[in-house]
A and B are shown apart, each in its own frame.
Chain A
C-alpha cells in the first residue's frame, strides 16, 4: 500500500505543479495509476467491490483536488468506478437471480424499507434496472434488520468470496481495455476523416490539437487533397507547430492570425478543432479563441466540428465556468515583463497599478454553436452527449465528490 500511496502522491504533485498537462496525457496516467490501485488492492472477505470503489474514489479525490481544471482525471476516475460497478454487477445479478427464487418477498421488503423513494419499483423492475438493485445490495450489511430477515446470507457470502477473485481479474482486463482505448482513440477518430473531409475542401483550425493533426493526416494519407488554414492560437502560438507538422506530411497549410478568422471564414468549408473537455450539456471547454471562431462559423453557416475522445467526456454541467474551470496563466505569455515594468509599478502613491494582464487558458463554447462531435466511437450531435455520459458513468458517481469545505 505505501507503494501505491507514493505513486498517487507523485502523480498528484505532478498535476499540482502543472507538469502533466493535456487531456490525453492525464487520462493515460490516471488510468495506469488506477490499474495499479486495483491490482494492489487487498480484498476484504465480504463486499470486495464496495471497498474497491471506496479505494478508487479516495485516490480519485486526491487527484482531482490536485488540479481541478484537468477534467480528464475526474472522467477516468468516474469511468473506472463505473467499470467496477458493472463488473461487480454481472456475477451479482446471477446470485440475486438465485436469491430471488428463495427469498423473493424479502428482497422486495428490503427495497421498500430502505429506499422509500425507490419503493415503487417492483421485483421485476429491480432486476431490469441493475443500478437500483446494486444499491440494495450495498446497503444490505449495514442494516441489522435486513440481516435478520435475510435467510440465505451465508450462501451469498460464500458466493461473493469466490466471485471476488474473478471480479478483480475481470476488472484488470476492463481497465486494460480502457488504457488501450485511450491509446488508440486517435486512430478511432482519424478513421472517420474520409467521411468528413472531401476533395478540394478548405478546412480551418485553431491552435494545435493532436486529434486534429491525426484527423487531417489520415485524410491526406488516403489521397484526399485539401487546404488547411491554421489560426495561430495566441498566446501560445501552437498553430505554428501544427503548420510545421502538416508541412512534413505534405499538406498545404496557411497560417493566419486569430483575429483574421472572421475574414477567412467565408472561404472555409469546415472548421475542425480539438477541445479540452466536453461538458454534459454538449458545450465544450476549449483553448481560448475558439468561442470567437465558433460564432464566426455560425454566422456563415460553416459546420463547426469538434474532435474529442471519450475520455474528454465530462459529467459536469457548465456553471460559473470562468471561475471554477478556468486557469489563469502567466501574463508573461502575453507581454514582456521588463518592457512594461514601468507601468506595473506600485511604488507611486496610488499604490495599485492600472495595468493588469489577464491570460485565461480556456473558452466555453455553448452547444448551439457546435455542429458535430467526432469521437472514437462515432459522430454525435451535441444534444446526444448526455446519453453518452449515461453510458460511460454510473449515476452514483455523477455528483462530483465535493469536499465539505467549498
Chain B
C-alpha cells in the first residue's frame, strides 16, 4: 500500500517536473513581422506606398498576415517598419489591430535598415523577444494551423539544442517548362533528410541554362539517406528559437534570410546549428513575392482557398461584401448599368459605378471607381478611385489608386500603372511597361529598398559600367527608349520606366499577365533541345545513329532532317574538340577530324567555323569545373529518376562566374585554338557566321557571355580571327533588324564606331 502511494507520489512529482518546462514553453508566443520585403520587385508602386499596404482584394495585405497570426495563437507581434514606416504605423494605429484583446501589435521603426538581417539585429538589440517566435513577412496569406509545427519545433528543441529553426514548406510542383512555381518564384531545390526532416541543402537560384546543380559530396557521405526535392515551396514562415537573433548578430554579414542565413547555417559545420522543415498539407500558404503571385493569390482568395480570410468574412474590419452566385463579390452602393456584364469571379468594391455595355471578368475593382461605357476589363486589378473613361481596354494589368484613363486608352497585358498616372486619349501602353509619376531612379542608388545579391546583379552592375550604350538594352519599342520624356498621349501624365533588371526576356515570368502561348511553345522547344543535350552528354561518344530514333527525325521531313543534322554535327564537333582538349591532340589532327565530319554531314566550312567556335565558347564556360566531369557522369546515372533535365554535379562549391574570370578563360582558349578556327575562316561570310553564332549563344545557350559580348568581339578582332570588314558588315546587316535583335549591336556600338573611324582614317 505504502509502496503504491510512494509510486503515485513519484509519478505526480514526475508529472510536475514535466509540466514545468511546459509552463515555460507556454509563455505567450511572439512573432516578428517584417513590413518590408527589402526587394524592388513591386516597383514603381513601392516608391509611393509600402508593399504591405497594397490592397489585396481591397484589403491591405498586412491584414491577412495579422489576422492569421492572431488566429494561430500568437500573442504579441512586432511589426518591423522600414520603408514608408510612417504610412505603416499610421495605418496600424487607425486600424483595429491596436485594440484587440489578447493580441498586441507593436511597431519597431528604423530608416537606415537595408536588409532583413539588419532588422533582426536591431530587434535583438532591443531585447524584446524572450522565447520561440514566428518570423514572417507582411505579405503572407495563410490559413494554416501552427499548433503541430510549434509542437514539433519545441520537442526537437528539447532533445537537441541546436535545432534552432523550423521552416514551413508546402508541396508545389514547378512547371517543367518555365522552371518556376505557380507563384512565379524560381524552382527551388532542397535536400531533406527523410527521417528527421532536417534541411541539408537549399538552392533557389539554380542556373537553369546549364541544367545542373551541385551538391557537396560530403552531404552524400555523411547522411544515410537524403531526398532531393524540386517540388517544394518555401512558405517563408519560420518558427525560430531566440538563438536565431543572436546568430544574426554574431554574423554581421548575414543579410538575406535565405541566401545568407539559411545557406550560411547549412554550410557552416562549426556551430552545428540545424534547420528542420515542416511540411503542411491542404491548408493554404502563399507569399506575395512578385506581380505574378499577386495575381495568383488574389485568384486563390476569390476561390476561397484561404477561408476564413475571404472578402465576405469581415476578418479585419473590412467593408461588408456579399458573395453572390458564380463567385461574384459585391460591396454595397454599387451603381451598375443594366447592360453592363459583370462576369464570374470578380470583386467589386464599395461605391463603384459601372457604365453601360462594359464587360468585366476575372477582375478586382476597388472602391469608388468610375468605369465608363463600353469598357473591357479582363483579369485586371484596379484599386481605389480610378476613373476609366469610355471605350478603354484593360487586360491583365494592375492600376493603382487615382489613375485616370482617358477615353479609348488601351493597356496591353502586364502593364502596371502606379499612383495617379494619367493615360491620354487613345494611347496604347505597350505590354509589360511600368508607368509612374516618379522618374525611374538610376541603377542601384535605391533609397529605401535594396535588392540583395540577386542573380541578375552582375548584369546590372556591368550595364552601369558600360554606360549609356547599354542603358537601352532591354527596351521594347523605340517609343519607350526615350523613357525620360513623359509620353502617354495627349494629356497624359507620368513616365514609362525602362526595364533594367533581367531585361525584357525575364519580364513575362513575374508579370500579372499569364504567360503568352508562343513563349510557352518556345520554351518547351528549348527544353526538348536541353533534353537532347543531356542525352548527348550521357552518351558522350556515341554515334549519331542511335539518336536518330528521336520523334523529330522519324517524320522524314527535309527541313527537319537538315536542322537535326546540323544539331548532330555541332555535337559531334564539340565532342571531338573536347576530346582534343583533354588528350592534347595536335591542332592539325583536329582539323583533319573536323574536315572528315564536315564531309560526312555535307556541311559548308561556315558551318564548321560556327561549330568549332561554339565548342570553344562552351569549353570556356565549363572550364572551372571540368575536373569534376567523371563524378558528374556518375551522378547523372544516379539521378535518372529525377523528373527534370537537372542533374547533380558533385563538386565542392557551386561555380560562380565572375565576368572577369570568364573573359580570361575565353581569351586563353581563343589564343590556344586560334589556328583551328582560322583554318575555316576562308572568306568574310564565315567570319560573319561566327559573330551570328556568338550572338545566338549569348541569347540562348550561354547567357553568361551576354554582358561580355563587346569585349570578346574585341578579343577576336585583336587575334585577327575577325576582320574589321566582317564586323562592320554584321553591324550594317543588323541595321534593319528588330529592336530586340539589336541588343548586341548596341552593346558594341563604341567598338564599331572606333572601327569605322579607323577605316575612314586609312582611306
B520, A342: Cβ atoms under 8 Å?
no
Task: Bits for B63-90, please: 1 = Cβ < 8 Å to A, else 0.
Answer: 0000100010000000000000000000
- Chain B residues contacting A13 (CB-CB under 8 Å) are 100
B-contacting 9-mer, from A84-92, A125-133, A347-355, A367-375: A347-355
Quick check: is A328 within 8 A (CB to CB) of the other chain? Answer: yes
Question: In the complex, A349→B178 CA distance in Å?
Answer: 13
- Chain A residues contacting B315 (CB-CB under 8 Å) are 16-17
- Chain A residues contacting B306 (CB-CB under 8 Å) are 330
A286 to B: closest C-beta gap in Å: 20
A4 to B: closest C-beta gap in Å: 14
Question: In the complex, A332→B286 CA distance in Å?
Answer: 15
B-contacting 9-mer, from A140-148, A153-161, A305-313, A333-341: A333-341
Quick check: is B544 within 8 A (CB to CB) of the other chain? Answer: no
**A346-B514, A349-B514, A352-B362 known; A65 vs B175 contact (CB < 8 Å):** no
CB within 8 Å of A: which of B142-177?
Answer: 143, 170-173, 175
CB within 8 Å of A: which of B313-349?
Answer: 313-315, 320, 322-325, 327, 332-333, 345
Interface size of B as a range = 35 or more
**A330-B143, A331-B304 known; A337 vs B284 contact (CB < 8 Å):** yes
Task: Bits for B119-130, please: 1 = Cβ < 8 Å to A, else 0.
Answer: 000000000000
- Chain B residues contacting A65 (CB-CB under 8 Å) are 320
- Chain A residues contacting B514 (CB-CB under 8 Å) are 346-351
The winner among B378, B514, B516 for most chain A CB atoms within 10 A is B514
Question: In the complex, A377→B67 CA distance in Å?
Answer: 42
Residue of B whose beta carbon sits closest to that of A10? B101
- Chain A residues contacting B362 (CB-CB under 8 Å) are 351-352
- Chain A residues contacting B71 (CB-CB under 8 Å) are 17
**A336-B282, A405-B333, A406-B332 known; A347 vs B170 contact (CB < 8 Å):** no
- Chain B residues contacting A267 (CB-CB under 8 Å) are none
Pick from B322, B333, B345, B516: contact of A349, CB below 8 A.
B516
Quick check: is A344 within 8 A (CB to CB) of the other chain? Answer: yes
**A346-B299, A352-B345, A405-B332 known; A323 vs B182 contact (CB < 8 Å):** no
B283, A332: Cβ atoms under 8 Å?
yes
A244 to B: closest C-beta gap in Å: 22
The winner among B184, B295, B304 for most chain A CB atoms within 10 A is B304
Quick check: is A210 within 8 A (CB to CB) of the other chain? Answer: no
A16, B313: Cβ atoms under 8 Å?
yes
Quick check: is B261 within 8 A (CB to CB) of the other chain? Answer: no
Residue of A whose beta carbon sits closest to that of B181? A341
Quick check: is A6 within 8 A (CB to CB) of the other chain? Answer: yes
Quick check: is B303 within 8 A (CB to CB) of the other chain? Answer: yes
Interface SS of chain B: helix, strand, loop or mixed?
loop
- Chain A residues contacting B307 (CB-CB under 8 Å) are 328-332
Quick check: is A272 within 8 A (CB to CB) of the other chain? Answer: no
A337, B308: Cβ atoms under 8 Å?
no
B175, A337: Cβ atoms under 8 Å?
no
Residue of A whose beta carbon sits closest to that of B323? A328
The winner among A332, A349, A351, A406 for most chain B CB atoms within 10 A is A351
**A65-B320, A337-B284, A338-B281 known; A347 vs B296 contact (CB < 8 Å):** yes
A17, B313: Cβ atoms under 8 Å?
yes
B175, A351: Cβ atoms under 8 Å?
no
Question: In the complex, A10→B101 CA distance in Å?
Answer: 8
- Chain A residues contacting B284 (CB-CB under 8 Å) are 332, 337
- Chain A residues contacting B295 (CB-CB under 8 Å) are 346
Pick from A322, A351, A405: contact of B379, CB below 8 A.
A351
Question: In the complex, A331→B645 CA distance in Å?
Answer: 34
Quick check: is A177 within 8 A (CB to CB) of the other chain? Answer: no
Pick from B101, B282, B323, B332: contact of A332, CB below 8 A.
B282
B182, A357: Cβ atoms under 8 Å?
no
B325, A337: Cβ atoms under 8 Å?
no
Quick check: is B515 within 8 A (CB to CB) of the other chain? Answer: yes
Task: Bits for A12-24, please: 1 = Cβ < 8 Å to B, else 0.
Answer: 0100111000000
Question: In the complex, A245→B696 CA distance in Å?
Answer: 71
Residue of A whose beta carbon sits closest to that of B395? A351
Question: In the complex, A359→B170 CA distance in Å?
Answer: 23
B99 to A: closest C-beta gap in Å: 9
- Chain B residues contacting A32 (CB-CB under 8 Å) are none
A338, B171: Cβ atoms under 8 Å?
yes
- On chain A, the number of residues with a Cβ less than 8 Å from chain B's Cβ atoms is 35
**A16-B313, A330-B143 known; A348 vs B303 contact (CB < 8 Å):** no
- Chain A residues contacting B303 (CB-CB under 8 Å) are 331, 344, 356-357
B612 to A: closest C-beta gap in Å: 40
- Chain A residues contacting B305 (CB-CB under 8 Å) are 330-332, 337
A341, B308: Cβ atoms under 8 Å?
no
Quick check: is A345 within 8 A (CB to CB) of the other chain? Answer: yes
B325, A338: Cβ atoms under 8 Å?
no
Question: In the complex, A14→B136 CA distance in Å?
Answer: 24
A136 to B: closest C-beta gap in Å: 36
Task: Bits for B283-296, please: 1 = Cβ < 8 Å to A, else 0.
Answer: 11000000010011
- Chain B residues contacting A329 (CB-CB under 8 Å) are 304, 307
**A328-B323, A330-B307 known; A349 vs B515 contact (CB < 8 Å):** yes
CB within 8 Å of B: which of A1-53?
Answer: 6, 10, 13, 16-18
A15 to B: closest C-beta gap in Å: 9
Pick from B171, B182, B304, B379: contact of A352, CB below 8 A.
B379
B322, A17: Cβ atoms under 8 Å?
no
- Chain A residues contacting B361 (CB-CB under 8 Å) are 352
- Chain A residues contacting B172 (CB-CB under 8 Å) are 338, 341
Question: In the complex, A98→B541 CA distance in Å?
Answer: 116
Quick check: is B434 within 8 A (CB to CB) of the other chain? Answer: no
Quick check: is A261 within 8 A (CB to CB) of the other chain? Answer: no
Residue of A whose beta carbon sits closest to that of B328? A323
- Chain B residues contacting A17 (CB-CB under 8 Å) are 67, 71, 308, 313, 315
Quick check: is A66 within 8 A (CB to CB) of the other chain? Answer: yes
Quick check: is B517 within 8 A (CB to CB) of the other chain? Answer: yes
Question: In the complex, A390→B171 CA distance in Å?
Answer: 55
Residue of A whose beta carbon sits closest to that of B101? A10
A389 to B: closest C-beta gap in Å: 26
- Chain B residues contacting A18 (CB-CB under 8 Å) are 308, 313
Question: In the complex, A356→B143 CA distance in Å?
Answer: 19
Question: In the complex, A338→B286 CA distance in Å?
Answer: 12
Question: In the complex, A351→B414 CA distance in Å?
Answer: 12
Quick check: is B396 within 8 A (CB to CB) of the other chain? Answer: yes
Question: In the complex, A329→B304 CA distance in Å?
Answer: 7
Question: In the complex, A405→B320 CA distance in Å?
Answer: 10
- Chain B residues contacting A350 (CB-CB under 8 Å) are 514
Q: Ordered nearest first, which 6 A-B pairs have the shortest CB separation?
A: A330-B307, A405-B332, A338-B171, A351-B514, A349-B517, A16-B314
Can you report 29 A-B residue pairs in the complex whose CB atoms are below 8 A from each other?
Answer: A16-B313, A16-B315, A17-B67, A17-B313, A18-B308, A323-B325, A328-B304, A332-B282, A336-B282, A337-B282, A338-B171, A341-B171, A341-B172, A342-B173, A344-B300, A345-B182, A346-B514, A347-B178, A347-B292, A347-B514, A348-B514, A349-B514, A349-B515, A351-B378, A351-B514, A352-B345, A352-B361, A405-B333, A406-B332
11 new A-B contacts at CB < 8 Å, known A338-B171, A349-B515: A328-B304, A330-B307, A331-B304, A337-B282, A337-B284, A338-B281, A338-B282, A344-B303, A346-B296, A346-B299, A347-B296
